[in-house]
């Protein structure tokens, strides 16, 4: 069929995609929530940067920053941010076996090993950070 005719064929019915397409299916809603965790990520790195700035301005400035962190409003926001960050981590690591396919001696390494490796890596990094920050 002539491509131009096909493109403008007057009688084929073309359905519109609703603006809230992502509310129509649970899978889509989960996807959008997962993608919105990028906001938690950027918030976290910006806050980290601000904390470093406060640190460099001396003890008094840093103490004021810590006080701010202790305010209930910020604690509430930061709890949500932490949930977002954990959701990012879990959804990211769970997808790792789909992108990383390793073959050992001709056989595919089962997904659960790839997954276990990533989660153990997360645990190791977490412990490293705890060791680095706690008890200083």
Vertex 53, ends 47 and 54: CA angle to 5°?
90
Count, residues near another protein per rule CB under 8 A: 72
- Is residue 134 involved in binding another protein (CB under 8 A)? yes
How many whole angstroms separate alpha carbon 81 and alpha carbon 77? 6
Question: d(Cα 132, Cα 136) in Å, to the nearest integer?
Answer: 8
User: In the complex with another protein, which residue's Cβ is closer, 45 or 116?
Assistant: 45
- Shortest distance, position 119 Cβ to another protein, whole Å: 10
- Please report how close the Cβ of residue 56 comes to another protein at its closest, in angstroms: 5
Q: Closest approach of Cβ 97 to another protein, in Å?
A: 8
- Cα–Cα distance, 103 to 18 (Å, whole number): 43
Smallest separation, CB 65 to another protein (Å): 10
Contacts of another protein in 35-94 (CB under 8 A)? 35-36, 38-39, 41-42, 44-49, 51-53, 55-56, 59, 62, 66, 69-70, 74-75, 78-79, 81-82, 85-86, 88-89, 92-93
HSE at residue 45, side-chain half, CA atoms within 13 A, is: 5
Task: List the interface residues with another protein, window 102-121 (CB under 8 A).
Answer: 103, 106-108, 121
Give 130's Cβ-side CA count (13 Å radius).
6
14 touches another protein (CB under 8 A) = yes
CA distances to 48, 53, 70 from 132, rounded to whole Å, are 16, 19, 22
């Amino acid at each position: 069929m002539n491509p131009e005719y096909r493109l403008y064929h007057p009688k084929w019915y073309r359905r519109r995609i609703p603006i809230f397409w992502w509310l129509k299916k649970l899978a889509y809603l989960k996807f959008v929530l997962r993608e919105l965790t990028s906001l938690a990520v950027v918030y976290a790195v910006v806050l980290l940067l601000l904390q470093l700035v406060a640190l460099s301005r001396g003890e008094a400035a840093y103490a004021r920053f810590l006080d701010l962190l202790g305010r209930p409003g910020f604690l509430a926001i930061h709890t949500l941010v932490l949930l977002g960050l954990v959701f990012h981590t879990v959804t990211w690591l769970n997808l790792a076996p789909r992108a990383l396919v390793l073959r050992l001696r001709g056989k595919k390494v089962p997904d659960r090993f790839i997954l276990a490796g990533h989660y153990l890596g997360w645990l190791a990094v977490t412990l490293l950070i705890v060791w680095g920050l706690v008890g200083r």
